[in-house]
Amino acid sequence: MKKNILNSRMFGEMAWKEMTLENMRRVIMFLAATGACLVLSGILGGCNAPDGSTGSGKTEENNDETILTAFVQQSVASDDGIWEGWGAQKLYEDTNIKVDFYASGNEVEQKLKQYMAAGNLPDIIGFRDLDEAQLLMDADLLLPLEEYEDSLPSIFHTKEYENAIAYTMENTSNGTGKLFFMPTSIGPVSYNAYNWVPLLQWDAYKKAGAPKLYTLEDYLDVVEKMVEIKPVTESGEKVYGFSLFSDWDKYSALEIASLSYFYGIDSEYVSTLMETNILTKETNSILREDSFYKRALKFYFEANQRGLLDPDSATQSYSNLEKKYSEGRVMFSWFSWLWGTYNNVSSGHVNHEEKPDGYANVLASDMKIYEAPDQVIGRNWYFAISKNCKNVKKACEFLNWLYDPDVEQYLYNGPEGGVWERKPDGEPYVTEKGWDVINEKNEDLMPVEGGGSFQNGVYHFNGLGQQASTLMDDGYTISYRYWPSSLNVDETRMQKEVNEMLGKDVLAEYLYENDMVAKSTIAVNMIPPVSDVMENKIAEIGEVVRGDSWDLVYAKDETAFEELWQNMVKKAKELGMDDVEQYYKQAWKEALRKAAEFESTDKTSTSLRK
């Protein structure tokens, strides 16, 4: 048996990508029992550490200095190595700990599986969904944090974390009542922080006549005019109306499905094979004939028919796409933050005297923008400690440091006197020079010990224990972004023009006044992991849907599009899509019931709205 497993192709790179959770759990349980360290030729180079040195990749101690390894799936950072800069300096001063990050970036789920197979799990693991956390918990590879409560006072003795801990121990511990992973982003939803908002290049939009948009499909005509006005960049590079990437695809073409968030429809948190309408509280298969997913596929199909879609969309990486945005080579964006460096003041666009430009909020009047729920139990992003970590004491010290509210305040803003100061009455505010540092967040401009860029504080973690809009004891939010003076910070020339069009200084005010918000529920974070049998079905269906979706977008004509759609639905149903849909309908119903126990009509976040 041992020989068959070790010689099997299942440990090849492609096999890991295709393996279902059921088989993965079996393999990992075998590895855990035998202590095997597999040689994954061409993947991880045996059991070498990320830097190429021999060993398990676990904690290293050098006199009083400790180096912990970490793999944070939710991070957008693609670089690896020792954490440096002002945030890392704070950690070292407080704990004598350095963190050696494994590269995240693309295909993080597959990377985690490869690390597990190689016996090379890092000390600290950041998960970006419950399935991955459940996988390691089932394999008995995570420490039960409650057994180290004395070493983790920041987690167990911080009032704001109580509900999140209680819910996680009761509902996501396999009935053990233990805390194997700690949620992040706990607290009220951040004010004016919308993840999915349609953006258009402002100068080209104005030159197209700044037409009013009524529906999603109106963007096709408008963007077509914009590309006619600006077919190439100043350096001669081709400009596309739309461009996508496929790095984050799991069971669907995720960035195509993401258009649903313009209409209050979740297409990721409950399941990427389901779309959950936040307004009607209904969830249905993305393969229904009247699904938004089909509408989104048709939208990009039409964009391609018009020659507006980047032909690299199905294969390019996120980093390659971000570069195109930085160069102004794409007219439309679906994320509120996806514009590369094009909107940076230093790029010279947003404050251009003659033609202010940048990616600007331009919404269709029928939209209901998805607003995240108040995360009273946290979101499905977690931090955990690997069970075979060699220095549990220092790993706990690091996790305790990371969840300390005072440390989080430091990581969000930097030290007082760096980019921010306090008025005589105690009100914090960002200085004029501080805004320069923040606006150029990836430049090495931090005027404090440790140096580096402003994003050094949170970048490698993406999310911290508490939401950025959590109120601290001084009555102000934990992050500078929601301090009173920050909400009215000087506008760029472009933003001033956009605000004049909206008639509001803050997007949230415009959305609420025009009934264009779909406020979500924490029920989206309360869907339990599926059984192994169900996971098999989902993985097989996802393989079909993910691949066929891109074929649909690039279909020859409408007849081919419809034939491909019907064939995809037929194959999915044969693989058990109806069973999957019924499972999630029941799980969603139960999640809504549980959510009602935690949610109230008195939202903390509303106190931040002006």
Distance from C-alpha of 14 to C-alpha of 20, rounded to nearest angstrom? 12
Q: Note the pLDDT tens digit of each residue in 309-338.
A: 999 999 999 989 999 999 999 999 999 999
Q: Which of 294, 262, 264 has its CA nearest to residue 280? A: 264
- Check residue 248 and give its pLDDT: 86
Alpha-helical runs (H) found in 13-161: 13-18, 21-34, 86-95, 108-117, 130-138, 153-156
Count each helix (H run) and each strand (E run) in the chain, helices first. 22, 17
Q: Note the pLDDT tens digit of each residue in 540-565.
A: 999 999 999 999 999 999 999 999 99
Q: Which of 342, 375, 341, 372 has its CA nearest to residue 357? A: 342
Paired residues of 276 in beta bridges: 266, 283
User: By percentage, how much of the chain surpasses pLDDT 70?
Assistant: 86
- Check residue 441 and give its pLDDT: 83
Fold adopted by 196-372+493-526+579-598? D-Maltodextrin-Binding Protein; domain 2 (3.40.190)
74 burial level (CB within 10 Å; 0-12, 13-18, 19+): buried
Rg (CA), the chain: 24
Assigned token pair, 567 = 């064939």
Q: Note the pLDDT tens digit of each residue in 480-500.
A: 999 988 876 768 999 999 999
Which DSSP symbol is given to 356?
-
Distance from C-alpha of 352 to C-alpha of 334, rounded to nearest angstrom? 24
Q: How does residue 366 score in pLDDT terms, banded at 50, 70 and 90?
A: very high
Write out the DSSP string of 459-512.
TTTSS-SB-TT-B-TTSSBSSGGGSHHHHTPPPPHHHHHHHHHHTSSSHHHHHH
Which DSSP symbol is given to 608?
G
- For residues 252 and 59, which has the higher predicted lDDT (pLDDT)? 252
- The pairing of beta strand 359-361 with beta strand 196-201: antiparallel
- Write down the residue that tokens 């803050």 correspond to: 506
Class of domain 2-185+378-403: alpha beta
φ, ψ dihedrals at 409, nearest 5°: -60, -40
Q: Are 36 and 119 in contact (CB under 8 A)?
A: yes
Distance from C-alpha of 234 to C-alpha of 327, rounded to nearest angstrom? 9
Distance from C-alpha of 142 to C-alpha of 23, rounded to nearest angstrom? 19
φ, ψ dihedrals at 385, nearest 5°: -115, 130
CA angle 168–170–175, rounded 5-degree value: 115
Q: What is the mean pLDDT of residues 417-445?
A: 93
- Check residue 60 and give its pLDDT: 64
Q: How does residue 10 score in pLDDT terms, banded at 50, 70 and 90?
A: very low
Distance from C-alpha of 531 to C-alpha of 115, rounded to nearest angstrom? 23
Assigned token pair, 260 = 């649903």
Domain with CATH 3.40.190.10 in the chain: 2-185+378-403
215 burial level (CB within 10 Å; 0-12, 13-18, 19+): exposed
Distance from C-alpha of 122 to C-alpha of 116, rounded to nearest angstrom? 9
- Check residue 116 and give its pLDDT: 82
Q: Is the pLDDT of residue 176 over 50?
A: yes
Sequence-ordered list of residues with C-beta below 8 angstroms from that of 492, at least 6 positions apart, any chain: 345, 350, 351, 356, 358
State the Cα torsion 240-242-245-249 to the nearest 10°.
Answer: -160
Question: Of 13-17, 347-351, 404-408, where does mean pLDDT reach its minimum?
Answer: 13-17
Q: Beta-carbon neighbour count of residue 539 at 10 Å? A: 18
Distance from C-alpha of 423 to C-alpha of 421, rounded to nearest angstrom? 7
Q: What is the mean pLDDT of residues 509-530?
A: 94
Q: Is the pLDDT of residue 184 over 80?
A: yes
Q: Which of 464, 594, 470 has its CA nearest to residue 525? A: 594
Sequence-ordered list of residues with C-beta below 8 angstroms from that of 85, at least 6 positions apart, any chain: 446, 450, 451, 452, 453, 456
Question: Of 111-125, 150-164, 251-265, where does mean pLDDT reach its minimum?
Answer: 111-125
Write out the DSSP string of 193-222.
--SEEEEEEHHHHHHTT-----STTHHHHH
Q: Beta-carbon neighbour count of residue 364 at 10 Å? A: 18
Farthest-apart Cα atoms in the chain, separation: 73
Q: Are 351 and 492 in contact (CB under 8 A)?
A: yes
Q: Note the pLDDT tens digit of each residue in 77-103.
A: 667 899 999 999 999 999 999 999 988
Q: Beta-carbon neighbour count of residue 392 at 10 Å? A: 18
Q: What is the pTM of this model?
A: 0.80
Distance from C-alpha of 216 to C-alpha of 366, rounded to nearest angstrom? 8
Which DSSP symbol is given to 602?
S
- For residues 62 and 192, which has the higher predicted lDDT (pLDDT)? 192
Distance from C-alpha of 439 to C-alpha of 191, rounded to nearest angstrom? 19
Q: Note the pLDDT tens digit of each residue in 536-545.
A: 999 999 999 9
- For residues 385 and 485, which has the higher predicted lDDT (pLDDT)? 385
- Cα 381 to chain center, whole Å? 9
- Check residue 118 and give its pLDDT: 82
- Write down the residue that tokens 């959510």 correspond to: 595
